[in-house]
Amino acid sequence: MLSQEKMTPLELRATLSLALVFALRMFGMFSILPVLAIYAQHLPGGTSPFLVGVALGIDGLAQALLQIPFGLLSDRYGRKRVIYVGLALFSLGSFIAAAATDIYVVILGRLVQGTGAVAAAVIALTADLTREEHRAKAMAMIGMSIGVTFGASLVLGPALAHLIGVSGIFAMTGILALAAMLIVRFAVPDPRVSRVHADAETIPGQIAAVLTHPELQRLDFGIFSLHAAMRGLFVVVPLALLDVGQLPASEHWKVYLPVMAISFFTAIPAILIGETRGRMKLVFCGAIALLLVSTLIMAVLMDDFTGVVVGLFLFFLAFNLLEATLPSLVSKIAPAGSKGTAIGVYNSFQFLGLFLGGALGGFMAEHAGPASVFAFTAGICIVWLMLALSMQPPPAVRTRMYHVPEMDAVRAARLSERLSRLEGVTEAVVIADEGVAYLKVRMGDWDEQRVRDLIDKGE
């Protein structure tokens, strides 16, 4: 039976060090976003918004294609080996981009960066190093580190570009990736046993069912749309701040800092209301509507500095709300025992959105003007809002995991059935190979002791 004690020092060390690995990798990726379009203006080929958009998004294409395979390779060849390879590729791409003398080499460097798709392997290693009852906490800490890194990098990116140049940011990114390799080697513990975790990893046999799940399809389209909109935004907004606002690139932090800070703290009450009062669909649809309003404001007021800043604030308020609620919705809706696969597919759509958002945003900016990027994004938001309004209200459930005694598949199936019949349990799957029971339970309306008694008996 699982204990209710706190995370062990080993678990805490593993979680914090892997969160730092994520943060070091992501800082360089994110800090380039607010400055790349401006930097590219001085490179051969960089005056083409389409090529700038490709440079901004091409890493997403590589990650969309490789993040699931890298996770599967980590099952076979070891987590740390795959992470080392991924971070080395990421570092190589960073140094290629740092040495670029034209936009085409920047694109190549960004593509190589994207081939270092280690996210799935890092998550799998986190699952190896944490017990079931603490895994959600560990994943939340890693997610928080990514969110904080995103906000900090948008603020610090322009200042870094002023101090060391964009090529310097790329070089710094490569060095940070090498530092992350050292953390993996010396700070991250070696797992005693590596195995597949259905709550954290993609299971190939589950992909078809996840892809054809109607409610998950809506969420996959949502994360695709959200990140397409975000990456398209950075094709045109940095230039708008420079040209329309007459704000030097080194001072763009004066916009990003208040926008990111205020939008982050404003989003927290809405997220809490959605989670604690069963209003997730209302908060979710409201955030999509806000995203639509923000893109319309920027489409109409692209030549007005105040309009751009207001639109940017509303955009990131909606973005923060949706970034928090979408993974929660995936967890609530995904079938018990398929959460890892659902998240893996969801992440692939997110990366694909990054690529197409950058490329399509650049194409439209080049051929129809900057405002067209947001007009197009508004159209996507309308489709997304219609899909969200017609979705089933997400169940007020939480996922619980329990270690189960060793048993064969027949006993596991029998225990799954008995757990499913308990009051307050909406789904239950016992996976004998993992020795874990995955349950979805109604919040505040289930008998945990009865669950534990059945699991203790193993039948």
pLDDT exceeds 60 at position 4 = no
Q: Which pLDDT band, with edges at 50, 70 and 90, does 195 fall under?
A: confident
Candidates 273, 316, 266; CA nearest to 293 is 316
Rounded CA-CA distance 357/372 in Å is 13
Average pLDDT rounded to a whole number, residues 295-320:
96
Residue 421 pLDDT greater than 50, yes or no: yes
What does the pLDDT average to over 126-133? 89
Output the pLDDT for position 435. 86
Q: Report, as an integer, the average pLDDT of 238-262.
A: 95
Q: What is the CATH number of domain 7-201?
A: 1.20.1250.20
169, pLDDT greater than 50: yes
pLDDT, average across residues 314-322: 97
Top-confidence residue, 435 or 306? 306
User: Under 8 Å CB-to-CB from 89, ≥6 apart: which residues?
Assistant: 112, 113, 115, 116
Question: 397-457 architecture in CATH?
Answer: 2-Layer Sandwich (3.30)
Residue 426 has pLDDT above 70, yes or no: yes
As annotated, the residues of the chain forming the CATH 3.30.70.100 domain(s) are 397-457
* d(C-alpha 116, C-alpha 111), whole Å: 9
Model confidence at 280: pLDDT above 50: yes
CB-side exposure of 306: number of CA atoms within 13 Å? 0
- The pLDDT of residue 359 is 97
Q: Which residues contact 255 (CB under 8 A, 6 or more apart)?
A: 241, 245, 247, 309, 312
Provide CATH 1.20.1250.20 ranges for the chain.
7-201, 203-394
Cα-based distances in Å from 164 to 28, 55, 80, 98, 167 = 13, 20, 32, 11, 8
Q: What is the predicted pLDDT for the residue at 347?
A: 96
Distance CA 210, CA 225 (A): 19
* pLDDT greater than 50 at residue 1: no
Identity (one letter) of the amino acid at 111?
L
* pLDDT of res. 442: 86
pLDDT of residue 30: 94
Average per-residue pLDDT in the chain? Answer: 93
Architecture of domain 203-394: Up-down Bundle (1.20)
Nearest of 409, 377, 358 to residue 296 by alpha carbon = 377
Residue 221: pLDDT over 60: yes
* pLDDT for residue 311 is more than 90: yes
Q: What pLDDT is recorded for position 459?
A: 62
pLDDT value at residue 336: 85
Using pLDDT thresholds of 50, 70 and 90, give the confidence band for residue 2. very low
Over residues 211-221, the mean pLDDT reads 97
CA 392 from chain centre, in angstroms, equals 23
pLDDT digits (tens, 9 = 90+) for 42-99: 999 989 999 999 999 999 999 999 999 999 999 999 999 999 999 999 999 999 999 9
First to last CA, the chain: 14
Which segment of 129-143, 183-197, 434-448 scores lowest on mean pLDDT? 434-448
Question: Do 439 and 399 form a contact (C-beta atoms < 8 A)?
Answer: yes
Instruction: Give mean pLDDT, residues 176-187.
Output: 97
